[in-house]
Chains A and B, each alone.
Chain A
Amino acid sequence: MPKDGGIGASTKRREDVRFLTGKGRYTADITLRGQTYAWFLRSEVAHGKINSINTTAAKAMPGVLAIMTGEDFAKMGGNPAGWLIQSRGGETMKEPKRPVLAHGKVRHVGDAYAIVVAETLEQARDAATAIEADITELPAVVDMAKAVANPANRVHDEIENNVCFDWGWIEDNRAAVDAAFKAAPHVTTLELVNNRLAPNAMEPRASIGDYDSGTGDYKLYTTSQNPHLSRLLIAAFVMGIPENKLTVIAPDVGGGFGSKIYHYGEEAAVLAASKAINRPVKWVADRSESFLSDAHGRDHVTKIELALDKNGTFLALRTETLANVGAYLSNFATVTPTFLHGTLMAGPYKTPLVYVNVKAVFTNTAPVDAYRGAGRPEATYSIERVVDKAARELGLDPWELRRRNLITKDMFPYTTPVGLAYDTGNYQATLDKLIEISDKKGFEKRAAESAKKGKLRGLGLSTWIEACGIAPSNLVGQLGARVGLYDAATVRVNATGNISVMVGAHSHGQGHETVFAQIVSDKLGVPASSVEIVHGDTSKIPFGMGTYGSRSLAVCGSAMIKAMDKIIAKGKKIAAHMLEAPEADIDFDDGAFMAKGTNKKLTFGEVAFSAYVPHNYPLATLEPGLEETAFYDPANFTYPAGAYACEVEVDPGTGRVEIASFTCADDFGTVMNPMIVRGQVHGGVAQGIGQALLEQAVYDNNGQLLSGSYMDYAMPRADDLPNFTVDHSCVTPCTHNPLGAKGCGEAGAIGSPPAVVNAVIDALHRAGHTHIAHIDMPLTPSRVWSAMQK
Chain B
Amino acid sequence: MNDALQQQILIAEHPQKKNDPSNGSGAVDERDREKRMAKVTMTVNGKSVSGEVEGRTLLSSFLREGLGLTGTHVGCDTSQCGACVVHVDGVAAKACSVLAMDVAGSTVTTIEAMHNPDGSLGVVQQAFQDHHGLQCGFCTPGMVMTAAALLAETPKPTEHEVRHALEGNICRCTGYHNIVKAVMAASGQPVSAE
Give chain A's interface residues, CB within 8 Å of chain B: 12-13, 15-26, 28-29, 31, 57, 60-62, 122, 125-126, 128-130, 200-204, 252-255, 257, 286-288, 508-511, 675-676, 678-679, 682-687, 709-711, 715-719, 721, 723-724, 726, 748
Q: Smallest CB–CB gap between B115 and chain A, Å? A: 6
Contact B178 A679 (CB under 8 A): yes
Judged by DSSP, the binding face of B is: loop
Contact B174 A686 (CB under 8 A): yes
Closest to B165 in A: A718
Do A129 and B30 contact each other (CB < 8 Å), given the known contacts A22-B111, A202-B75, A678-B194? no
A-B pairs with beta carbons under 8 Å apart, 17 shown: A15-B137, A16-B128, A20-B134, A21-B115, A24-B138, A31-B65, A130-B22, A201-B138, A202-B139, A287-B75, A509-B137, A675-B132, A679-B132, A683-B172, A684-B175, A721-B175, A726-B194
Do A19 and B172 contact each other (CB < 8 Å), given the known contacts A128-B15, A287-B81? no
Q: Which residues of chain B are near A12, meaning CB under 8 Å?
A: 129-130, 132
Closest to A719 in B: B163
Which of A21, A122, A686 is the one whose CB lies under 8 Å from B54? Answer: A122
Closest to A57 in B: B22
Do A20 and B144 contact each other (CB < 8 Å), given the known contacts A13-B129, A287-B76? yes
> In whole angstroms, how far apart are the Cα atoms of A101 and B72 in the complex?
31
Is the C-beta of B16 less than 8 angstroms from some C-beta in chain A? yes
Query: B67-93: which residues lie under 8 A (CB-CB) from chain A?
Result: 68-78, 80-81, 83
Is the C-beta of B99 less than 8 angstroms from some C-beta in chain A? no
Extra A-B contacts (6), CB below 8 Å, given A57-B22, A200-B172, A202-B138: A20-B134, A22-B110, A26-B70, A202-B173, A683-B175, A718-B167
Closest to B130 in A: A12
> In whole angstroms, how far apart are the Cα atoms of A678 and B132 in the complex?
9
Is the C-beta of B56 less than 8 angstroms from some C-beta in chain A? yes
Closest to A713 in B: B80
Residue among A201, A679, A709 having the largest count of chain B Cβ atoms under 10 Å: A679
Q: Which residues of chain A are near B130, meaning CB under 8 Å?
A: 12
Is the C-beta of B39 less than 8 angstroms from some C-beta in chain A? no
How many chain B residues have a CB neighbour from A under 8 Å?
A: 69
Q: Smallest CB–CB gap between B1 and chain A, Å? A: 17
Contact A257 B22 (CB under 8 A): no
Residue among B12, B75, B175 having the largest count of chain A Cβ atoms under 10 Å: B175
Is the C-beta of B170 less than 8 angstroms from some C-beta in chain A? yes
Q: Which residues of chain A are near B125, meaning CB under 8 Å?
A: 20-21
> In whole angstroms, how far apart are the Cα atoms of A716 and B166 in the complex?
12
Q: Smallest CB–CB gap between A662 and chain B, Å? A: 9
> In whole angstroms, how far apart are the Cα atoms of A203 and B70 in the complex?
13
Contact A255 B111 (CB under 8 A): no
Do A257 and B172 contact each other (CB < 8 Å), given the known contacts A122-B54, A682-B178, A717-B167? yes
Which of A31, A253, A511, A711 is the one whose CB lies under 8 Å from B78? Answer: A711
Is the C-beta of B112 less than 8 angstroms from some C-beta in chain A? yes
> In whole angstroms, how far apart are the Cα atoms of A717 and B110 in the complex?
23
Contact A16 B170 (CB under 8 A): no
Do A62 and B132 contact each other (CB < 8 Å), given the known contacts A28-B74, A686-B175, A717-B170? no
Contact B80 A711 (CB under 8 A): yes
Contact B73 A203 (CB under 8 A): yes
Contact A202 B132 (CB under 8 A): no
Contact B172 A255 (CB under 8 A): yes
Q: Smallest CB–CB gap between B162 and chain A, Å? A: 7
Closest to A675 in B: B132
Is the C-beta of B95 less than 8 angstroms from some C-beta in chain A? no
> In whole angstroms, how far apart are the Cα atoms of A60 and B167 in the complex?
45
Contact B176 A686 (CB under 8 A): yes
Contact A129 B172 (CB under 8 A): no
> In whole angstroms, how far apart are the Cα atoms of A355 and B116 in the complex?
61
Is the C-beta of B29 less than 8 angstroms from some C-beta in chain A? yes
Closest to A10 in B: B132
Closest to B16 in A: A129
Which of B56, B163, B172, B194 is the one whose CB lies under 8 Å from A122? Answer: B56
Contact B71 A682 (CB under 8 A): no
Residue among B68, B70, B128 having the largest count of chain A Cβ atoms under 10 Å: B70
Do A202 and B121 contact each other (CB < 8 Å), given the known contacts A125-B15, A255-B136? no
Query: B25-74: which residues lie under 8 A (CB-CB) from chain A?
Result: 26-27, 29-30, 33, 54, 56, 64-65, 68-74
Do A255 and B15 contact each other (CB < 8 Å), given the known contacts A21-B71, A676-B132, A721-B175? no
> In whole angstroms, how far apart are the Cα atoms of A126 and B110 in the complex?
30
> In whole angstroms, how far apart are the Cα atoms of A312 and B89 in the complex?
66
> In whole angstroms, how far apart are the Cα atoms of A634 and B76 in the complex?
39
Contact A26 B138 (CB under 8 A): yes
Which of B121, B170, B173 is the one whose CB lies under 8 Å from A710? Answer: B170
Is the C-beta of B135 less than 8 angstroms from some C-beta in chain A? yes
Which of A126, A257, A287, A718 is the one whose CB lies under 8 Å from B163? Answer: A718
> In whole angstroms, how far apart are the Cα atoms of A459 and B111 in the complex?
42
Q: Which residues of chain B are near A19, meaning CB under 8 Å?
A: 134, 136-137, 140
Closest to B121 in A: A20
Q: Which residues of chain A are near B70, meaning CB under 8 Å?
A: 22, 25-26, 28-29
> In whole angstroms, how far apart are the Cα atoms of A21 and B116 in the complex?
11
Q: Smallest CB–CB gap between B68 and chain A, Å? A: 8
